[in-house]
Structure 1
Amino acid sequence: MLYFTIAALLGVLLRFYPLSSFTFNYRFVVHAHSHIALLGWVYVALTTILHYCFVKNDTTAHKRYNWIFWATQGTLIGMMLTFPFQGYALFSIIFSTLFLIMSYIFFHHFLKNIDPKHKDSRALQCMKAALWYMVISSLGPWALGMIMTLLGSQSIWYRIAIYFYLHFQYNGWMVLALIGLVLFALEQQGMAFPKKRFSRFFWSMNIGIVLTFFLSTLWTDPSPTVYVLAGIGTLAQLGAFGVLWVQFKGEAARLLLTKWQVMLLKLVVVLFCIKLLLQLLTTLPYFVQMATRHIDLIIGYLHLTFLGVISIGLFFLMDYFKLFQVSRRPFQWYFLGFLTMEILIFYRGMAGWLQWPLWDGHTETLAVGSLLIPLSLLWMLLKNRLPS
């Protein structure tokens, strides 16, 4: 949560950049913002919950995880202290590479130390697939060095390598891990996911994750086959969500959620449905051109996925497992900041496409609205650290 707060403060700095006399390098801070958000907040949160839920209660396993955890923090702090000042350069690349190596070590540690009582768990099957997507996503950063050397940063392959990484991080590792953790919670309460139904969900979801990567390549004006593959992937994910919804709807009562937790979970489901709808739209050439020409639409979609689906999903899980209390009032501030940013970012993208006017004060409103997110996160941190 502290990393999330730092990433949010860097985001605020970026929002105020056009309104102030700051002289920092904008792209360097963007790199720091994205790395700390993805790796400092989501990676650390997910791996912590995975260890808490699935790893056997063994002193040796806990000691090894402790070492992995603190070594990972060293790489994250290194990135936090180098990216804002040098962007992609020697030391930031060293710390990024060390982080990737530590993530592989965690993957190996996790697989070796799973509690045997979970061996037949459907949730564990999802978690293993999610972790494989995390490893697969790292092929993108490894390829960047070769692409820059041979083709240069202006090559389309440079952007495709970045999109490859982001796609398998967001849609593979993070989303599938969240689903797996909800299934874990249900299994702990006695839910049995029928084998055939789970198989339909699992394979449809994985086919969808792989094929929707082609959505990230449509800006290259590819052959119609690529559009078809992207469309099949999107429909496969919709089908997987439908199967999951049928299963979850009949079993949700087992979780014994508070009204507040029910609200958080419903919010995640609604935002995930919006995400799937936007994916479906971007299989059509008209909307591909719109998104390609107006970067705010892509930024709005990424923030919807990250600040909405993934982060609120993590809030729900942390609150449900009693690892971190997500209180109603600070979350309302968070959601107001998120909603304000989404509306203003998407409006600016649509305004560029449809020649709508931008009112005076749009940039200022967006900057001020973004302040609500780090303030709400600081509020949550204080409520969890101070005695009630």
Structure 2
Amino acid sequence: MTYFLAAAMLGVLLRFFSLASFEFDYRYVVHAHSHIALLGWVYIALTTIIYKLFLEKGQITKKYRRLFGFTQVTIMGMLLTFPFQGYALFSILFSTLFLFASYRFLFLFEKYAKIDNEHGLSFKCLRWALWYMALSSLGPWALGGIMTNLGVQSIWYRLAIYFYLHFQYNGWMVLSLIGLFVYVLEQNKLIIPKRKIGFFFRGLNAGIVLTYFLSVLWIMPPTFFYILGGLGALLQIGGILVLVDINMSHFIQKFLSPFQWLLLRIVLLLFSIKMLLQLVTAFPYFANLAATYLDFTIGYLHWTFLGVITVAIFFLLDYFRLLKIDKSTFIAFFTGFFTMEVLIFYKGISGWLGLPGFDLHILFLAVASLVIALSIMIMLGNLEAQRSIRIHNVNY
């Protein structure tokens, strides 16, 4: 949660960049913001939950603690270098060391995670999610050679970055969240037919691979690429629909608190919109639109990371009692997030349709970012208070 706050504060700094006379390199802070959000907040949250559910009871406590400490050093290194130098010697060094740390976590999961009959599908999802995480790292590894031989203006530079981002959020992050949700279902004795599992798993994974072609449509490739990307989007939607049916909601409500049920419904709504946006970009007109007006891409990425993934993590943290999410604080967070999304997408729509902008757009964006940061700060304070209470109860 501390890294989430750091990423949010960097976001606030970026939003206030044009409103105040700050002296910093905007691009460097963008790099720091994205790295800490993805690798500090999301990665640490997901691997912590996976460790608690699948690894903690094994014989790897010391190994995991050493790895956890090493990972913190790499993330702190990125936080202290990216804002001041961008992609340079030390920031690249810490980023590279982080990749090795993530490979080590994959190795520990492969070697020590225990599978049983009750948690077969969730284990399978998480295993593939971690391998997608490793696959995504081919993007960063390729950047060095691309920058040296082709330069940052090469299309291969952006393609490598999009490869990394796609398999990070569509592969590693979203699939791991689905796996953890399936774990919740398995924990509550929901029996999923084997035939349904097969359709779900094959469709979802084929969709994850094929939707990468949606990330290359900005280069206006042959029509076949659009077909593959659209097919991938349909397969992902089909895989999810096979797993989640209408009758499941009655089952789920029985073991969730009203607030957890609210969080889950919000995640499903945000995720449905994300999938719809993904499918729409398979059509050439909308693919070109997203490439022309970058606010659509920025809005989509924030919708995915700050909306779908973060709210899903809030649900899991609350459900597994790792952090009790206060409802009023979450409402403040979601209000800031939704306001920011409306403003970002409106800017893209106004450019597309020639609608008028408004003078306070940047200010409202900055205030929305500040609301998000303040709500995270309150959550972090609540976490420390809950930790103190647990320590007090153990001592007494």
DSSP-derived class of the 2:116 partner: helix
After superposition, the C-alpha distances for 1:96-116 in whole angstroms (9 at most, x for unaligned) are 000000000110011111124
Q: CA deviation at 1:252?
A: 3.6
Task: For 1:340, give the aligned amino acid.
Answer: T
Maintained 8 Å contact 1:131/1:173: yes
Matched, 1:18 2:38: no
Spell out the pairing of 1:255-274 with structure 2 (5 A cutoff).
Answer: 256-274=255-273
Matched, 1:222 2:251: no
Q: CA deviation at 1:231?
A: 0.8
After superposition, the C-alpha distances for 1:253-300 in whole angstroms (9 at most, x for unaligned) are 376100000000000000000001101110111111111111111000
Taking structure 1 as reference, are residues 386 and 196 closer, same or farther at Cα in structure 2, changes over 3 Å only? same
Spell out the pairing of 1:324-343 with structure 2 (5 A cutoff).
Answer: 324-343=323-342
Following the alignment from structure 2 to structure 1, what is the Cα–Cα distance between the partners of residues 53 and 283? 41
Following the alignment from structure 1 to structure 2, what is the Cα–Cα distance between the partners of residues 88 and 171? 25
Following the alignment from structure 2 to structure 1, what is the Cα–Cα distance between the partners of residues 9 and 287? 31
Taking structure 1 as reference, are residues 9 and 148 closer, same or farther at Cα in structure 2, changes over 3 Å only? same
Taking structure 1 as reference, are residues 330 and 250 closer, same or farther at Cα in structure 2, changes over 3 Å only? closer
Following the alignment from structure 1 to structure 2, what is the Cα–Cα distance between the partners of residues 62 and 256? 30
Maintained 8 Å contact 2:119/2:186: no
Counterpart for residue 383 of structure 2: 384
Matched, 1:100 2:115: no
Q: CA deviation at 1:193?
A: 1.6
Counterpart for residue 142 of structure 2: 143
Q: CA deviation at 1:156?
A: 0.1
Taking structure 1 as reference, are residues 15 and 270 closer, same or farther at Cα in structure 2, changes over 3 Å only? same
Spell out the pairing of 1:149-160 with structure 2 (5 A cutoff).
Answer: 149-160=148-159
Following the alignment from structure 1 to structure 2, what is the Cα–Cα distance between the partners of residues 218 and 315? 33
Following the alignment from structure 2 to structure 1, what is the Cα–Cα distance between the partners of residues 187 and 374? 35
Following the alignment from structure 2 to structure 1, what is the Cα–Cα distance between the partners of residues 147 and 153? 8
DSSP-derived class of the 1:17 partner: coil
Counterpart for residue 40 of structure 2: 40
After superposition, the C-alpha distances for 1:29-69 in whole angstroms (9 at most, x for unaligned) are 000000000000000000000000111513x4111100110
TM-score, normalised relative to structure 2: 0.95
Q: CA deviation at 1:190?
A: 1.2
Counterpart for residue 245 of structure 2: 246
Identical pairs, percent: 54
Matched, 1:51 2:51: yes
Matched, 1:285 2:314: no
* CA RMSD between the two structures: 1.4
Maintained 8 Å contact 1:214/1:226: yes
Following the alignment from structure 1 to structure 2, what is the Cα–Cα distance between the partners of residues 385 and 372? 20
Following the alignment from structure 1 to structure 2, what is the Cα–Cα distance between the partners of residues 248 and 154? 51
Maintained 8 Å contact 1:191/1:251: no
Q: CA deviation at 1:376?
A: 0.3
Q: CA deviation at 1:370?
A: 1.0
Matched, 1:205 2:176: no
Maintained 8 Å contact 1:54/1:118: no
TM-score, normalised relative to structure 1: 0.97
Maintained 8 Å contact 2:10/2:33: yes
Taking structure 1 as reference, are residues 254 and 264 closer, same or farther at Cα in structure 2, changes over 3 Å only? closer
Following the alignment from structure 1 to structure 2, what is the Cα–Cα distance between the partners of residues 180 and 50? 10
Maintained 8 Å contact 2:118/2:187: no
Following the alignment from structure 1 to structure 2, what is the Cα–Cα distance between the partners of residues 221 and 345? 25
Q: CA deviation at 1:381?
A: 1.3
Counterpart for residue 394 of structure 2: none
Following the alignment from structure 1 to structure 2, what is the Cα–Cα distance between the partners of residues 90 and 118? 47
Following the alignment from structure 2 to structure 1, what is the Cα–Cα distance between the partners of residues 323 and 5? 15
Following the alignment from structure 1 to structure 2, what is the Cα–Cα distance between the partners of residues 155 and 107? 32
Taking structure 1 as reference, are residues 12 and 56 closer, same or farther at Cα in structure 2, changes over 3 Å only? closer
Matched, 1:173 2:172: yes
> Where in structure 2 are there 5+ consecutive unaligned residues?
390-396
Q: CA deviation at 1:384?
A: 2.3
Deviates more, 1:282-291 or 1:136-145: 282-291
Counterpart for residue 9 of structure 1: 9
Counterpart for residue 183 of structure 2: 184
- Give the ranges of 4+ consecutive aligned residues of structure 1 lying more than 4 Å apart after TM superposition: none
Maintained 8 Å contact 2:115/2:123: no
